[in-house]
């Protein structure tokens, strides 16, 4: 067991150092908050969301209107989770 | 499962309506304030989970069956999809109700303003459908996990 722990520690240190090394060059490329690379879509939604959907919450207008398909998938994920839980645990629930 | 004390039961009974009202507020005002169907549904379902913790899964399971919750969740999902089909004349998920003189058809002015409750077109209805779905789904998960993982095991027939 001792040797396995040593191998695991070495692997952890290697993996962690690789991850840190891969992130370090990105530190200079990170853009400040609120200044994305391609702001065209954001500007369009910010200027047109209220007029087009009539909702003051632009996030809701994106989630339910502009990106409705994404929300449909999200709802399907929840539905699948409930179906799976009920399928697996119904046996215990009904004795 | 040990009985919880009278303090826990009383405080949970007092808290539950307020938690539910707050969650319904978050759902119904999803097109005006931060939040929406998912968040408000999670709040209401957490209030239901509070009741499950306080009163035990047996007492709750006597009143609510998970098949009813499953039915409610399916109603929410089908309502969401059919609301998406309302604007099918243009595209899927087209907000055909916004801008009309009908219910939820008001357009708020541009910029920061409180907005109107009767605005947003299909968005409040979609929030309501998704909220129904999330309430029923999360409560079903919590309830069936609480029933299945208690010490005695198995609901008495």
pTM of the model: 0.81
Would you say residue B157 lies in a domain?
A: no
Range of the domain at B61: 6-148
The reply to whether residue B154 touches residue A85, judged by beta carbons under 8 angstroms, is no
As a whole-number percent, the residues of chain A with pLDDT over 90 amount to 27
Cross-chain CB nearest to A92 (options B84, B108, B154): B154
CA gap B45, A78 in Å, rounded = 13
Would you say residue B68 lies in a domain?
A: yes
Overall domain count for chain B: 1
Question: Do B40 and B131 form a contact (C-beta atoms < 8 A)?
Answer: yes
**Chain A residues within an 8 Å CB radius of B92:** 68-69
Backbone dihedral angles phi then psi of residue B106, each to the nearest 5 degrees: -75, 145
Strand, coil or helix: B99: coil
Would you say residue B153 lies in a domain?
A: no
**Burial group, residue B47, by CB count within 10 angstroms (0-12, 13-18, 19+):** buried
For range A41-66, the mean pLDDT: 87
B134/A contact by beta carbon, under 8 A: yes
Residue range B112-153, pLDDT digits in tens: 888 888 888 888 999 999 999 999 999 999 999 888 887 664
CA gap B120, B106 in Å, rounded = 7
Would you say residue B38 lies in a domain?
A: yes
Please report, to the nearest 10 degrees, the dihedral formed by the alpha carbons of residues B19, B81, A48, B102 taken in order.
Answer: -80
For range B76-105, the mean pLDDT: 83
Would you say residue B155 lies in a domain?
A: no
CA gap B76, A53 in Å, rounded = 22
Would you say residue B105 lies in a domain?
A: yes
CA gap A12, B46 in Å, rounded = 38
**Length of chain B measured in residues:** 157
The reply to whether residue B126 touches residue A61, judged by beta carbons under 8 angstroms, is no
Residue range B92-105, pLDDT digits in tens: 888 877 777 777 87
CA gap A71, A77 in Å, rounded = 10
Would you say residue B33 lies in a domain?
A: yes
For range A28-55, the mean pLDDT: 83
Would you say residue B1 lies in a domain?
A: no
B92/A contact by beta carbon, under 8 A: yes
The reply to whether ipTM tops 0.90 is no
**Chain A residues within an 8 Å CB radius of B33:** 57
């Amino acid at each position: 067991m001792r040797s396995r722990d040593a191998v695991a520690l070495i692997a952890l240190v290697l993996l962690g150092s690789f991850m840190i090394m891969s992130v370090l060059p990105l530190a200079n490329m990170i853009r400040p908050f609120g200044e994305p690379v391609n702001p065209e879509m954001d500007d369009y939604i910010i200027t047109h969301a209220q007029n087009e959907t009539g909702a003051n919450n632009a996030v809701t207008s994106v989630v339910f209107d502009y990106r409705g398909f994404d929300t449909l998938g999200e709802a399907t994920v929840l539905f699948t989770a409930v179906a799976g839980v009920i399928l697996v645990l119904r046996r215990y629930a009904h004795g | 499962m040990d009985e919880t004390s009278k303090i826990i039961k009383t405080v949970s009974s007092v808290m539950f309506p307020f938690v539910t009202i707050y969650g319904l507020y978050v759902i119904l005002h999803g097109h005006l304030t931060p939040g929406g169907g998912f968040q408000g549904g999670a709040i209401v379902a957490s209030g239901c989970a509070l009741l499950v913790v306080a009163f035990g899964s047996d007492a709750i399971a006597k009143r609510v069956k998970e098949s009813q919750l499953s039915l409610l969740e399916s109603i929410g999902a089908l309502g969401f999809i059919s609301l998406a089909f309302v604007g099918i004349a243009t595209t899927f998920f087209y907000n055909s109700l916004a801008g009309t003189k009908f219910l939820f058809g008001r357009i708020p002015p541009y910029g920061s303003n409180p907005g109107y409750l009767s605005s947003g077109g299909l968005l409040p209805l979609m929030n309501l459908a998704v909220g129904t779905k999330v309430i029923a789904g999360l409560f079903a998960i919590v309830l069936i996990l609480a029933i299945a993982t208690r010490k005695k095991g198995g609901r008495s027939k």
